Amino acid sequence: MVSRVIPVDNFDLVIFGGTGDLARRKILPGLYRRFVAGQIPDETRIIGAARSEHDDDDYRHFVQDAVCEFVASKKHDQEQINAFLKLFFYVKTDALGEEGWDKIASMMKPDVIRVFYFSVGPRLFSPIAERLHRFEIAQDDSRIVVEKPFGRDLETARALNQELASHFDEHQIFRIDHYLGKETVQNLMAVRFGNILFEPLWNSQYVDHIQITVAETVGVGGRGGYYDKSGAIRDMVQNHLMQLLCLIAMEPPSQFEHDAVRDEKLKVIRALDPVERDEIVRGQYGAGDDSSSYLEDSENPESTTESFIAMKVQVSNWRWKGTPIYLRTGKRLRARASEIAVVFKDPPHSIFGQQDGRRGNVLVIRLQPDEGMNLRVTIKEPGPGGMRLIEVPLDMSFAEALGEDGADFPDAYERLIMDVVRGNQTLFMRGDEVEAAWAWTDPIIEAWQERGDKPITYDTGSSGPDDALALLHRDGRRWREIK
């Protein structure tokens, strides 16, 4: 399969926090891969901006190291790397002061799109936005890219939206949720709205329940300070899982266009019922044989922050009333496995006898690893002996179906950065969407705080606390195994 790459016009990109971890791991390697794919023209200019003292050569070394460390070695080509490094410059910049801004202004080319990537802590978002405006660096068609966390509750998110809005229009603000850049996540929309097969069944009449699982094996080591103030609800549920839920539950937008898609997602968030106390389970990982506990990783022996959460969510609208959506995410679990499982109801009547006929179909969309889809169907077991039914998967691994090149998906970040350059906001969150998500999560967090709730300790390498299993058992259902 030949992948189709549409080159963009050349652009100026300034990465604030250009020497940071996100730039090193994701942004710079992603840009290199797009460059190798022929999407980024040689005249493009990329400026790293940060507090530390460096010159252009130092920064190019930093970029080269990032590429060598985080891009698959089969894509290392010294000639390409050298050509890529020529795009880079460095400006020592004080986000809270005056240094560096005139220089950045003087380096901007007059007639190209300017993109400003805020790969910095949230407290610097507003000061940078204000300076881009004051030093006349940003133009009416410039774009800013803002990383999560976007606020830590409704109030702070609203304040941040207002501050950014005083310098930039909504069409210039790209709030990143990297889950929306994942190939399979976008495939969710293709599967739902590009086929006639699923949509007629996609409602509470035919769907028994939906499970969304994002399981990780890593702990919070190294990010304990940040994580302890966030927990799984702020770090994963309010954004990534919420986005998955929206794409699964939303009505078909009239077209695949930014506001049409985001309007439909917003309606889902606004239709979410408040979650009852007994519909949420919070956990915290204990120490493993050779790994530390959450309390050690967070360096906070008193911490009541959750590293695991499971919850039952209800979307109260005509399509979904009565079909629960179970969310589950956690760290230090048995396997790294993210998937969405749509569990259909049993056929209304079994012509094969009670035992054999009643098996629900399950559509599983695997986000990672091994992206693909799998539909469990019932067939007759081959051979004599009557009508014995068995379940088999109709399995489509994207790597197998599309061949190695076709399944060599761009990483979420590289796809999203190119969308910013093209000005396509479909896979970015709108301000009202982020606020609605906080409006739903805030009461949940406040209730924990008021009650002084403590998370349940679970074993490293398990599938979370047993109470999470009970959350489904009492509804007569079972989580799919994490594997």
Which are the catalytic amino acids? 240
Q: Are strands 362-368 and 337-344 parallel, antiparallel or unpaired?
A: antiparallel
Among 216, 306, 419, 433, binds ligand BG6 (CB under 6 A): 216
The residue among 31 and 315 lying less far from ligand BG6, judged by its C-beta, is 31
Find the residue with minimal CB distance to ligand BG6: 235
Q: How far is the CB of 234 from ligand BG6 (least distance, A)?
A: 9
**Residues whose CB falls within 8 Å of the CB of residue 461, separated by 6 or more in sequence, listed in order:** 288, 332, 333, 334
The residue among 143 and 178 lying less far from ligand BG6, judged by its C-beta, is 178
Q: How many residues bind ligand BG6 (CB under 6 A)?
A: 2
- Provide the 10 A C-beta neighbour count for residue 189: 18
Give the H/E segment covering residue 471: helix 466-473
HSE toward the beta carbon, residue 254, CA cutoff 13 A: 3
The phi and psi torsions of 88 (rounded to 5 degrees) equal -100, 145
| Cα-trace Rg, the chain | 24
228 binds ligand BG6 (CB under 6 A): no
Q: How far is the CB of 158 from ligand BG6 (least distance, A)?
A: 21
The residue among 216 and 306 lying less far from ligand BG6, judged by its C-beta, is 216
147 binds ligand BG6 (CB under 6 A): no
208 binds ligand BG6 (CB under 6 A): no
The residue among 208 and 235 lying less far from ligand BG6, judged by its C-beta, is 235
The residue among 225 and 353 lying less far from ligand BG6, judged by its C-beta, is 225
Q: How far is the CB of 331 from ligand BG6 (least distance, A)?
A: 7
Residues 53-92 close enough to bind ligand BG6 by CB under 6 A = none
Q: How far is the CB of 150 from ligand BG6 (least distance, A)?
A: 12
Q: How far is the CB of 216 from ligand BG6 (least distance, A)?
A: 5
Task: Draw the binding track, 161-200, toward ligand BG6 (x: CB under 6 A; -: no contact).
Answer: ----------------------------------------
Q: Are strands 372-380 and 362-368 parallel, antiparallel or unpaired?
A: antiparallel
232 and 240 in contact (C-beta within 8 Å)?
A: no
366 and 339 in contact (C-beta within 8 Å)?
A: yes
Distance CA 261, CA 406 (A): 26
The residue among 208 and 216 lying less far from ligand BG6, judged by its C-beta, is 216
Residues 237-296 close enough to bind ligand BG6 by CB under 6 A = none
235 binds ligand BG6 (CB under 6 A): yes
Distance CA 192, CA 289 (A): 43
Q: How far is the CB of 215 from ligand BG6 (least distance, A)?
A: 10
The residue among 208 and 414 lying less far from ligand BG6, judged by its C-beta, is 414
Give the H/E segment covering residue 406: helix 398-406
Distance CA 411, CA 33 (A): 9
Distance CA 466, CA 283 (A): 10
153 and 439 in contact (C-beta within 8 Å)?
A: no
Distance CA 204, CA 439 (A): 25
Tokens 């399950």 belong to 362
Two structure tokens written together for 91 = 């400006």
3-class state of residue 45 by DSSP: strand
Q: How far is the CB of 230 from ligand BG6 (least distance, A)?
A: 8
344 and 203 in contact (C-beta within 8 Å)?
A: no
Residues that bind ligand BG6 (CB under 6 A): 216, 235
